[in-house]
Structure 1
């Protein structure tokens, strides 16, 4: 093996990590940059974790190395820790990751409320409409009108659609009220159905003092769940994104399309070349766990336009100098020489990687005369709500793209494989009190294009005397950054629903009608599609999820057949229309 003298001159700290010389690393870190990248795009912490050097990783974490950074391939430190298969490494990295995220959240909420304070006061409604290309699923897709009041540093958001459970949407009347100042914030969740209010009040400086690593210790079952589940990294690829004006009309008379949305004229854009890239790694799983995961993969993906690339383990390239986390015996000089081509070799376990790319189109209705500011007024609110709502989180990821000029008065984006969300803004400054909003069905068209001074009645932010208020302590209600816990909970719910449907089938109902059976097949297809989208299964879920039998195959064939027939009908209608127009022109 090379001596590594060149590497010691150019990357001295990285070389200490390579050799796991953690004592010397502790001394050298005091006045050096812990976030410097090596030629392979790894920080010191990434290198230590990938090599499985727990001692060096602990030293770096004590010196505040960034536990949330991604390496050159887009993997986080936690992803690489799970791939080592080392429970201690996963426990250590997960603990520091959660500590970092909680610290950032405590600091982030007052900052967001400060941004809201500086923006002009307003009221607006957001209508959420869910649609599906699967006919029978579209019957259960709900709508919701989200009502937002903003006054000073106070914010109230009303919703009625709470979540999705057991193949049905959960509804209820909820209000989220946020109040804050420079160093404090109060968050209230108001359950109008039960007349109960949960409050969370915290002083930022005191909370930061109380926050310790010991409070962030992960449970052993959480570590085990990650070690027995695939490592999944989903990202939105917008490098080649293109906004194109939608056209209307036929042949030479095609013009840029414009539509009126709630009283405002909007230019219609198609958003092309947006891709959701999902990378799945399984090298840390046992052969039995890999087998179960592959068996539960969703063949419905073939109907969803998904392209797959698979990369197996790196062959039989090990030598007598190799170790578990350096299987191809890469030398320091080879690794740290940016001109040296490692080809398919790398440190860490040989990767077993699947890459899925799902391309989709979105539609935007942009209005340049809309009276609200996207950046100043709406995005801070979406940022705040994204901490508690997965739907708002998906909207936040999309709405922060570099849009064409104007305000997106209407947006249509995919949420899951089979569900789209259409969000429409309207009724700006139409209601100053909560009572007024209850009398408004849907979104009303705005009557004026200019907004004068608007004041929100402060009763909007008060709690009715008849409601029971309970203090929820110091817990900050946050959306899990990687969504894995939420996704696993939804998956378990769907699996339980599927099992209960099977148990209460023909035996208890005395037989099922053909129509009911047909709908049940579609529901099972959707369950499996959502399971694939939600990712992150645990060993129990992998073993228990339903197998694709002939009924499900039939449901998919019927769905594909119906889609093909619908497309054929549309083509025939368009051909007939063109023929009529040509005859009309000929007669003239």
Structure 2
């Protein structure tokens, strides 16, 4: 891998900031070398801070993975310089907002093209462990859609002292408003509202950096290539295909086979105390006995790893995808976990899968959404998924059920407006 093949990579590798400044305007900042690394990957792994800041200032892509599946943010966490992690994280958030704003007009138009409707969605967690189910949340969400507006009503407010705080909360999305003002949450009991922050504050980002620096670096993907569906059976003596009523909809039940979550974790940046704390937290969640009021201490930058003795030529001569270590020595663990999920499909449900996906993409867009759309449109059995059950921990299963749906032409505009007697309270929901 010669320097003239990847001149910007080579300049970053050598820490030649002047040469980087010359090349940065004429070269593709998202170009990958034979190991899948972009210039930003190399700058972060080698601790070349000036190169990192220069690349970020020129909008080098952050949500991009190398051949091993790691992003520049993951490598920044491993290296352990707090300011670099913060800078990369801030740029990641900015690029995500810009990408959404670019797609926003098309998403809003797709929402307008869908008929207006009312939808009831029940979700709950249950467990076979005695008493645990009583501590787990459940709720019926009521969703209204008119034009480019969506309203979601829920009764779950917060979780404190081992119980879920109930209330009367509404989320209102207004597609005709500016992005900064398009999402609002109402507390209907206290008659207050709060606009959900479009952009994280410096304090929010600092808190997130603390969490990243004290947690495993995780790369996970749910592969859909090998997923198949088989009819669920019912009956003891005489087995037959399972068909039941889910709410008011007759549904055929299927087992989801080959559903595997592949994950890789890195923890070379963690102390033994960090690892023990994280292990205890996961165990408590699995037992349904966790606390969410743990204070995250401000983390200091780690001592930098030793500078690698690898030259650019040696890096380039390494087999593709098997780069010599450039940063902290990896402590990685791979895991593949199979899930025994169940889905109930109904031909009676008035909404189709493609319409549901159009709505979801507006309220929760993400990079892999097209993969989800392709999977649900081509692999799902016939009908609409009115119920989905999937284990999230060995003892806890999550269940989502579409309990009701109807097309509506009588929804009033004031349903999607902030009531005039509500006052603004920017601190009502501190986590939003």
Q: TM-score, normalised by structure 1?
A: 0.60
C-alpha RMSD of matched pairs (Å) = 3.8
Helix, strand or coil for the counterpart of 1:8? coil
Q: 1:405 to 1:216 in 2, by over 3 A?
A: farther
How far apart in 1 are the matches of 2:393 and 2:109?
Answer: 33
Following superposition, the deviation at residue 153 of structure 1 comes to: 1.3
| 2:424 is equivalent to residue 470 of structure 1 | yes
| 2:344 is equivalent to residue 365 of structure 1 | yes
Following superposition, the deviation at residue 72 of structure 1 comes to: 2.0
Q: 1:456 to 1:241 in 2, by over 3 A?
A: farther
Q: 1:230 to 1:421 in 2, by over 3 A?
A: closer
Following superposition, the deviation at residue 49 of structure 1 comes to: 0.8
Q: 1:326 to 1:265 in 2, by over 3 A?
A: farther
Counterpart of 2:405 in structure 1 is: 428
Q: Deviations over 1:57-79 (max 9, x none)?
A: 22211221111222222222111
How far apart in 2 are the matches of 1:326 and 1:161?
Answer: 50
How far apart in 2 are the matches of 1:337 and 1:69?
Answer: 23
How far apart in 2 are the matches of 1:137 and 1:23?
Answer: 60
Residue pair 1:83, 1:283 contacting (<8 A) in 2 also: yes
Counterpart of 1:115 in structure 2 is: 110
What stretches of structure 1 of length at least 5 have no aligned partner? 1-5, 203-210, 305-322, 433-453, 480-588
How far apart in 1 are the matches of 2:134 and 2:425?
Answer: 40
Q: 1:463 to 1:91 in 2, by over 3 A?
A: closer
Q: 1:156 to 1:225 in 2, by over 3 A?
A: closer
Q: Deviations over 1:96-140 (max 9, x none)?
A: 223333444555666543332111111111011221132220123
Q: 1:325 to 1:253 in 2, by over 3 A?
A: farther
- Residues 143-222 of structure 1: pairs in structure 2 closer than 5 A: 143-181=138-176, 186-199=182-195
Residue pair 1:114, 1:181 contacting (<8 A) in 2 also: no
| 2:22 is equivalent to residue 37 of structure 1 | no
Residue pair 2:195, 2:426 contacting (<8 A) in 1 also: yes
Q: 1:464 to 1:98 in 2, by over 3 A?
A: closer
- Residues 14-33 of structure 1: pairs in structure 2 closer than 5 A: 14-33=9-28
Counterpart of 1:456 in structure 2 is: 411
Q: 1:363 to 1:121 in 2, by over 3 A?
A: same
How far apart in 2 are the matches of 1:174 and 1:341?
Answer: 49
Q: Which moved more, 1:56-65 or 1:292-301?
A: 292-301
Residue pair 2:387, 2:401 contacting (<8 A) in 1 also: yes
Counterpart of 2:299 in structure 1 is: none
Between Structure 1 and Structure 2, the one with more strand by share is 2
Q: 1:165 to 1:243 in 2, by over 3 A?
A: farther
How far apart in 2 are the matches of 1:151 and 1:112?
Answer: 14
Q: Deviations over 1:297-332 (max 9, x none)?
A: 24986xx8xxxxxxxxxxxxxxxxxx94554x3332
How far apart in 1 are the matches of 2:174 and 2:59?
Answer: 31
Helix, strand or coil for the counterpart of 1:94? helix
Residue pair 2:176, 2:182 contacting (<8 A) in 1 also: no
Q: 1:152 to 1:242 in 2, by over 3 A?
A: same
Residue pair 1:91, 1:218 contacting (<8 A) in 2 also: no
- Residues 205-244 of structure 1: pairs in structure 2 closer than 5 A: 223=209, 226-227=212-213, 229-244=214-229
Following superposition, the deviation at residue 427 of structure 1 comes to: 2.4
How far apart in 2 are the matches of 1:357 and 1:477?
Answer: 36
| 2:264 is equivalent to residue 276 of structure 1 | no
Helix, strand or coil for the counterpart of 1:135? coil
Residue pair 1:110, 1:183 contacting (<8 A) in 2 also: no
Aligned partner of 2:57 among 31, 44, 62: 62
Q: Deviations over 1:372-414 (max 9, x none)?
A: 12332x3344445559xxxx9xx99988843333211111123
How far apart in 2 are the matches of 1:291 and 1:472?
Answer: 36
How far apart in 2 are the matches of 1:356 and 1:169?
Answer: 32
Counterpart of 2:384 in structure 1 is: 407
Residue pair 1:176, 1:187 contacting (<8 A) in 2 also: yes
Helix, strand or coil for the counterpart of 1:188? strand
Residue pair 2:227, 2:256 contacting (<8 A) in 1 also: yes
Residue pair 2:349, 2:384 contacting (<8 A) in 1 also: yes
Aligned partner of 1:354 among 322, 333, 342: 333
Q: Deviations over 1:136-181 (max 9, x none)?
A: 2012334311111111112111111234332211211111122222
Residue pair 2:224, 2:375 contacting (<8 A) in 1 also: no
Q: 1:464 to 1:85 in 2, by over 3 A?
A: closer
Helix, strand or coil for the counterpart of 2:257? strand
How far apart in 2 are the matches of 1:181 and 1:221?
Answer: 32
Max radius of gyration: which structure?
Answer: 1
How far apart in 1 are the matches of 2:86 and 2:358?
Answer: 33
Q: Deviations over 1:435-485 (max 9, x none)?
A: xxxxxxxxxxxxxxxxxxx432334234445x3232759xx9997xxxxxx
Between Structure 1 and Structure 2, the one with more helix by share is 1
| 2:46 is equivalent to residue 51 of structure 1 | yes
How far apart in 1 are the matches of 2:425 and 2:99?
Answer: 23
Residue pair 1:366, 1:406 contacting (<8 A) in 2 also: yes
Q: 1:218 to 1:337 in 2, by over 3 A?
A: farther
